[in-house]
Structure 1
């Protein structure tokens, strides 16, 4: 008897519809601190030994007894909408690759769950619909989703099982891929198609307070894992990505069960538990100068750095990583032994490489994204070190992945050092500082352009962690965003006002 034949691939993007820059085909071809667009058997080496869902699937014990047919895998840095050209080009190549390896016994896809294209609000739903049409109703489709997926009814309808990460920072991406392999094996061996219970919650959760190492998510995700059983083979809670202006934006619960009644009951119980924690999805947010002064106070006599999250310019949530609010605050407050990263400014990095180590260059750093309240920082900077931007990131989030940040530099203004890069990726690994000669353990203050992922590698070395709101496209409070298309009644912040569509003009 021939081995089961499983097509594997992935197409990931987290879309912030309020962000300044779209995701183009070239962005996917370059990647974002992850492998670039890869096709065929090269996928296996590209994702090997990394914290990527597809890696976990193909390296799972169950997969060793299958014939895996690689298709296409790609991702781009979170940003505004995926362009129509990029979506259609990548989707058509993925579908063609799946068709080329048919007939199939199953399809596994590594997706995000919050992709919005210029011409499609529900990128993953449409992609799964096309895959289902191609492979037919009898072929199981199993999907890995990011915890921040904005799940839609179409996604649930078209896939046999959607299985989401359970950690933020996402240290379990590969582990979730392995869980998908277990689910695929169960579907193939049992022939069962489980009942589905899908529920959308009625309030948006700010991402700064979604960390699963802290309450309320720590307890909620422990309960999610404990709910699974033979009768309930998969339970997922997705906190959602609260910066996508379409009707299905928001948190959700997906339960798969052997019978509909039990799945529905479990979903209802989980939704009630999450609803009871609504007020806990909030926390203290500082202005830039408030945060820097508090960090300076805490750093006095501290043996470890105080870490500040520059959460609203997080390139992991659609920011361009070039706003200057936090850097200006560090300079204005006279912070010493401070470092900030990453600032995305290829021109400044190029000027540093042209001038050389030890030179002083006068540049207008950052501030290119036209964010209200933000502007470049024009100053003299000392070029302290240069790098080609290629290194291994061994921390829990990147999981030993090979990063390519392009030509990079450490620029110093006063006693503040800045990691300047030519490719966007959030500051989520200490190696990003070390790649340009900054030792994070020797700093009094570290300012990271990240919301939560940085905690995986920085929380163990932090004296304290503060959250600051400098100007940027990823609002720490979703209620301030100019929403137009949400579903009526959805609260745009915990315990906030329900969304009501604007009245149509007479």
Structure 2
């Protein structure tokens, strides 16, 4: 068997253009060489389909979602990928590991730009296979530049690594015996937040169940539906369908069928949990017997691009009598403020402190708020959050982090000496609950709070998206969903 040479490269981040956070180099984890190869289980475990493949690590950069990327940072990362690709020698293929919703300040369609730069570096004969998040955006420019393209099929993204492996395995298969396939691409003029398109519930559950059925058809290599990314204001932001294969008639028919099904279901998409104002959600939780009762502080979710320091929810929590008097226990996870964390560390565990917390990156609508309480716990060097402090005031335990950090797993809390399973209320800066929290929640509400990833898209002020677009134009005519063969 002839050995194949396949490069690995990508820049992966989800960027809200409505968040004032600016993503800089220290927000990225950048891997090269052996560290990049170690990122992928199929390489560590030497899966059979990897036999006789020389994997060539170029560069991969991944960041927690945030605001738009500093253009100088993006340019430096792109330049190094291009330089390494040129220096690597001829490549048969390239695995393009991206998110699909990266925004760069002052530019549009960053992934298409990166794909074009990579294509120029590796040449026209190298097959490029892209793996993406289903919340990415697939412009014509991106879809036509790469040769294979796919995305996750689950939200929450429990199949993220499975999807990456599928993209890499399909690339190896086509290099071995298939050649360059065709792609039937079509965008659907619908833009919805992930919290309305979770595959846990209908209609996304049934829509995504059709994807592997299409993939299994003769003449089809892969099928994918992208929801798109709702918190970037660019023309490419909308849903998309791509079906890849060799039978042009089949892939075109199936792409049209998936696109039409998505369009017809547009008004049926609903939030994954009951919603309400922060005030109403908290009152319902306090009055309920369900424990622990989880509330999503959705508008500043750092895993969707929020700044992580919007302080309106914290300000409201500090004013609730039941929490102030300790009649109800609660954890707030979390709010970013490196200055407040440093002050807590300077004071030490057990000290009484008065801190001005949050509202420094994204001051709307509250600005910094006063948090007076006891330093309950201090932890150094959290891999994501950096230094972390827990401040207790009454029944409320507030997690303050030096760097933005999502709280998705039970161990995120137990690392700090906190137990969400025995706490009355757990308020997390998150949208839909990740699996561990979902499993422990006796009840759950999604609070429609302000921030750079506000679930109420109509109040964010999109002006760069292409119109008409649902839900901004609810009376728009049915679109032409004829796929284009690329």
TM-score (ref. length: structure 2): 0.92
Aligned CA-pair RMSD: 1.9
Q: How has the CA–CA distance of structure 1 residues 355 and 206 changed in structure 2, closer, same or farther, with 3 Å as cutoff?
A: same
Distance 1:92 1:412 in 2: 47
Distance 1:99 1:119 in 2: 27
Match of 1:41 among 31, 34, 40: 34
Name the counterpart of 1:466.
445
Name the counterpart of 1:7.
7
Deviates more, 1:178-187 or 1:148-157: 178-187
SS of alignment partner, residue 23 of structure 1: coil
Query: Is 2:282 the partner of 1:292?
Result: yes
Contact 2:219 2:245 in 1 (8 A): yes
In the alignment, structure 1 segments of 5+ residues that lack a partner are 29-35, 48-53, 391-402, 499-506
How far residue 215 of structure 1 moved from its aligned partner, in angstroms, is 2.0
Q: How many residues align?
A: 468
How far residue 493 of structure 1 moved from its aligned partner, in angstroms, is 5.0
SS of alignment partner, residue 340 of structure 1: strand
Deviations 1:160-193 (A, max 9, x none): 1111011111121111111012211221122332
Matching of residues 18-417 of structure 1 within 5 Å: 18-28=18-28, 36-45=29-38, 47=39, 54-55=40-41, 59=45, 60-229=47-216, 230-283=218-271, 284-298=274-288, 300=289, 302=290, 304-333=291-320, 334-335=322-323, 336-390=328-382, 403-417=383-397
In the alignment, structure 2 segments of 5+ residues that lack a partner are 478-486
How far residue 262 of structure 1 moved from its aligned partner, in angstroms, is 1.3
Deviations 1:379-409 (A, max 9, x none): 312111111143xxxxxxxxxxxx3321111
Query: Is 2:411 the partner of 1:421?
Result: no
Contact 2:231 2:452 in 1 (8 A): no
Match of 2:416 among 407, 427, 436: 436
How far residue 327 of structure 1 moved from its aligned partner, in angstroms, is 2.3
Distance 1:325 1:227 in 2: 45
Q: How has the CA–CA distance of structure 1 residues 493 and 466 changed in structure 2, closer, same or farther, with 3 Å as cutoff?
A: farther
Q: How has the CA–CA distance of structure 1 residues 87 and 281 changed in structure 2, closer, same or farther, with 3 Å as cutoff?
A: same
Q: How has the CA–CA distance of structure 1 residues 119 and 55 changed in structure 2, closer, same or farther, with 3 Å as cutoff?
A: farther
Distance 1:164 1:494 in 2: 27
Contact 2:94 2:126 in 1 (8 A): yes
How far residue 9 of structure 1 moved from its aligned partner, in angstroms, is 2.2
Q: How has the CA–CA distance of structure 1 residues 189 and 450 changed in structure 2, closer, same or farther, with 3 Å as cutoff?
A: same
Deviations 1:107-154 (A, max 9, x none): 001101111212430111011111112222211100110111011111
Contact 1:57 1:179 in 2 (8 A): no
How far residue 480 of structure 1 moved from its aligned partner, in angstroms, is 1.6
Name the counterpart of 1:446.
426
Name the counterpart of 1:477.
456
Distance 1:497 1:79 in 2: 32
Deviates more, 1:367-376 or 1:457-466: 367-376
How far residue 2 of structure 1 moved from its aligned partner, in angstroms, is 4.7
Name the counterpart of 2:482.
none
Distance 1:356 1:296 in 2: 32
How far residue 328 of structure 1 moved from its aligned partner, in angstroms, is 2.8
How far residue 326 of structure 1 moved from its aligned partner, in angstroms, is 2.1
